[in-house]
Amino acid sequence: MSILADVARIAGVSKSTASRALSGRGYVSTDTRRKVEAAASELGYVVSSTAASLVTGRTRNVGVVIPYINRWYFAEVLEGIEAALIRAGYDLTLYRLSTDHDLRRRVFDYFLVRKRVDAVIAVTIALSPHEVEMLQALGKPLVAIGGRVAGIPSLSIDDVETSRLATEHLISLGHERIIHVGGDQEEQMDFRVHSQRYTGFQRAMEAAGLSNADDFREAEFSISGGYAAGLAVLGDPRTRPTAIFAGCDEIAVGIMIAARQLGIGVPHDLSIIGIDDHPLAETLGITTLAQRPGAQGGRAVELLLEQIDHSDAPAPDEHLLLPTGLTVRSSTGPVRTS
């Protein structure tokens, strides 16, 4: 392992000149720069980012806190963030936060604080005012994905509006017996995504004068969850709805599989719409409201880097609402008047 002093010696210059030559900051003649570079590559020298961070206070490392890895939306967001960070020359340190409160505190108190990261991206994690304050006091830019966090820039889709649109699509096709299969209303993720989607659904139904009592069915946000709920909901032909708004495409896929198993024709006997534009939604022809989580991750990184580069300016406390696009496929159709 060679260090800067070695490079300087071989190149016949001082440490400070060698540092300037390699980092590109300050005046160095083209000639000496070349000499230094030659010496560096001869020795196979690479800077110690630890030493550099110690003096500059910047680590070129971003912390990402995220509740799941093994779910489509989160994995896509993570991939988007990773790609954008690598491109910008940043490292990504990953913290998966389960619902374990102790772990969450440990991550914030022990890991994020220790000058290891320059900034933090919170994916569908509602940072508490205290957590925001703590990190901001340390001068760390923050960006939130998936929901509004007071005091910091954030971006997400409009869950209520998106759900309203999805439901209206079903209503416009003449459906009246519509139910929502979505996430547990009690044990929510942060930002109450589940309730928001249910709310959007209810608004559309009320606006059309279609409200009915038994309009909700709980499901885990996964294909298996949708499948189980689908079997339960579709089992009884008398109470079966003519259309289902699924809380996400994974649920929609599960319902689709269940419907096929029960011999229920889609969209002939049942229309299904989801949210996400999961690859399987395309494969199975499921109508959906498309969002692009990877792009959201990339955008979040942009917002973050802007803050890092203009650390003097106050954090822009704005919430970006990203559009979702209705993508009509073959899982939705006009209601069949029997």
Token pair of 18 as six digits? 């060698």
Contact 262, 270 (CB under 8 A): no
AA letter at 109: D
Q: Which does residue 223 touch among DNA, a second copy, none (CB within 5 to 8 A, set by kind)?
A: a second copy
Contact 290, 263 (CB under 8 A): no
Comparison of 22 and 170: residue with beta carbon closer to a second copy: 22
Comparison of 88 and 321: residue with beta carbon closer to a second copy: 88
To a second copy, the closest distance from the beta carbon of 86 in angstroms equals 7
Comparison of 171 and 257: residue with beta carbon closer to a second copy: 257
Which residues here bind a second copy, judged by CB under 8 A? Answer: 1, 46-51, 53-54, 59, 61, 69-70, 72, 75-76, 78-79, 82-83, 86, 89, 91-96, 103, 106-107, 109-111, 113-116, 138, 222-224, 227-228, 257, 260-261, 279-280, 282-284
AA letter at 291: Q
Which residues here bind DNA, judged by CB under 7 A? Answer: 1, 3-5, 12-17, 19-20, 22-23, 25-32, 45, 47-48, 51-52, 54-56
To DNA, the closest distance from the beta carbon of 116 in angstroms equals 13
To DNA, the closest distance from the beta carbon of 314 in angstroms equals 23
Number of helices (H), then strands (E), belonging to the chain: the values are: 13, 12
Q: Which does residue 70 touch among DNA, a second copy, none (CB within 5 to 8 A, set by kind)?
A: a second copy
Q: Which does residue 150 touch among a second copy, DNA, none (CB within 5 to 8 A, set by kind)?
A: none
Which stretches of 12-128 are DSSP H helices? 15-23, 30-43, 49-56, 72-87, 101-106
Comparison of 4 and 281: residue with beta carbon closer to DNA: 4
105 exposure class (CB count in 10 Å sphere: 0-12, 13-18, 19+): exposed
DSSP string covering 123-170: ES----HHHHHHHHHTT--EEEESS--TTS-EEEE-HHHHHHHHHHHH
